Amino acid sequence: MVTQEEIRSAVSKGDVIIGYRESIKYLKSNVPKLVVIANNIPERMRKDLEDVSRVSGAKIEVFEKDSVTLGVICGKPFPVSVLVIK
């Protein structure tokens, strides 16, 4: 289970890709350490991420809180549904 501190640390180091579209692009060309999704991500987006992650071999973890909280943890003024830790 990924912790808030691990996410904050990765964001401060610049080792993350934030956002659904950018995450999909990154997954298609690279293998990340971890894909973190908010617990309230739409089912269609979750399925797409799982399909692409299965091909790339990336591990997906569901963050225990919603996208608004994930956005706050990342220091963003908007909800974050998906982030990829490089």
Average pLDDT, consecutive stretches of 10 residues, N- to C-terminus, the chain (86 residues) = 93 95 93 94 96 91 96 96 95
pTM over 0.95: no
Q: What is the predicted pLDDT for the residue at 30?
A: 87
Q: What is the predicted pLDDT for the residue at 56?
A: 86
> Which domains does the chain possess?
4-85 (3.30.1330.30)
Nearest CA among 77, 80, 83, 74 for reference residue 12: 74
Q: Which residues touch 14 (CB under 8 Å, ≥6 apart)? A: none
Q: What is the predicted pLDDT for the residue at 31?
A: 84
Burial letters 47-61, b for 16+ CB under 10 A, else e: ebbeebbeeeebebe
> Residue 67 phi/psi, 5° resolution?
-70, -30
Q: What is the predicted pLDDT for the residue at 38?
A: 97
Q: For residue 15, give Cα distances in angstroms to 30, 44, 60.
A: 13, 26, 16
